[in-house]
């Protein structure tokens, strides 16, 4: 805690002056279909983690269905205690943006592979004052997002196929990081899926600014300890 985040928005809405040194390097991921479980997991990390990654699934873009974005509002408004990164694994991301704004999200990540006008959705996010992010499935090459260079503040490199926790990390996706860095002057790169003690250093060394961790934190006996241990491994 106590980290500072200096995201400044230029007139043309490109995020500048990213204070990468202070960026939280491990972000816990909550993937659940149970609003009560969502609440309990947020409660557990209150005061422990500034950022939380919330996985939203529509049963179309991926087979599973999760809680809805609006579930983040109820019941005690816990969401306000965090900076939320909402990962929209949905076919029609534009339909979710107003709700993301309503729950006070900081960063929204949509998929390159989603349907609809991705560029329009990214611009709408920025118009809402949200950090715009784009995710790449393992099979999607880095150059699939080159056209969005001016519209995104962050790129999420998926190291598993989206849709569930506890899958095996695919190291080959790390090869995309230098290519993304070359195309995007200033961008936050996150890696999501299959991250744990055995690969977290490798991910940060490959140039990612942060890693998203689900099961290796939440399926641990002591999730807060597991989170701290991972953070300690990269400091
Ligand atoms: C995968 C999700 C991930 C997931 C990570 O569909 O986008 O964020 O929650 O969980 P682990 O770390 O278990 O792969
Ligand atoms: Zn995710």
Catalytic residue among 143, 151, 192, 222: 192
User: How high is the mean pLDDT of the chain?
Assistant: 91
| 183: exposed, middle or buried (Cβ count in 10 Å: 0-12, 13-18, 19+) | middle
Answer for the pair 65, 97: CB distance below 8 angstroms, yes or no.
Answer: no
Query: Among this protein's residues, is 183 annotated catalytic?
Result: no
Query: Residue 62's pLDDT band (boundaries 50, 70, 90)?
Result: very high
Ligand located closest to 64 CA? 1
Q: Is the pLDDT of residue 81 over 50?
A: yes
Rounded CA separation 51/28 (Å): 8
Residue 53 CA to ligand 2 center (angstroms) comes to 7
- Higher-scoring residue by pLDDT: 176, 11: 176
**Which residues surround ligand 1 with Cβ inside 6 Å?**
29, 31, 53, 55, 87, 89, 160, 162-167, 192-195, 212-216
Q: Could you please report the per-residue DSSP string of 63-128?
A: S-B---GGGGTTTT-GGGGSEEEEEEE-S-GGGGHHHHHHTT-SEEEEETTSSS-HHHHHHHHHHT
pLDDT (tens digit per residue) in 12-58 = 334 444 555 568 999 999 999 999 999 999 999 999 999 999 999 99
Atom of ligand 1 nearest to the CA of 164: 6
Quick one: pLDDT at residue 219? 98
Phi/psi at 171 (5° precision) = -65, -25
Q: Is the pLDDT of residue 8 over 90?
A: no
CA 98 to chain CA mean position, Å: 18
Residue 213 CA to ligand 1 center (angstroms) comes to 7
Quick one: pLDDT at residue 132? 97
């Amino acid at each position: 805690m106590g980290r500072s985040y200096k995201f400044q928005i230029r007139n043309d809405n490109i995020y500048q002056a990213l204070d990468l040194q202070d960026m939280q390097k491990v972000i816990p991921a909550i993937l659940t279909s149970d609003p009560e479980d969502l609440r309990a997991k947020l409660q557990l990390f209150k005061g422990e983690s500034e950022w939380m990654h919330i996985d939203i699934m529509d049963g179309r873009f991926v087979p599973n269905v999760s809680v809805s974005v609006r579930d983040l509002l109820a019941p005690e408004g816990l969401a306000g205690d965090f900076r939320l990164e909402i990962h929209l694994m949905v076919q029609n991301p534009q339909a979710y943006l107003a709700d993301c704004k309503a729950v006070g999200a900081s960063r929204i990540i949509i998929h390159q592979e989603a349907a609809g006008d991705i560029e329009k959705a990214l611009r709408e996010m920025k118009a809402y004052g949200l950090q715009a992010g784009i995710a790449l499935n393992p099979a999607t090459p880095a150059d699939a997002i080159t056209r969005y260079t001016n519209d995104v503040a962050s790129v999420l490199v998926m190291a598993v196929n989206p849709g569930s926790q506890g899958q095996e990390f695919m190291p080959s996706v790390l090869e995309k990081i230098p290519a993304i860095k070359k195309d995007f002057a200033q961008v936050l790169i996150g890696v999501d899926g299959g991250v744990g003690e055995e690969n977290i250093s490798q991910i940060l060394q490959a140039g990612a600014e942060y890693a998203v961790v689900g099961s290796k934190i939440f399926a641990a006996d002591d999730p807060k300890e597991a989170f701290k241990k991972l953070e300690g491994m990269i400091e």
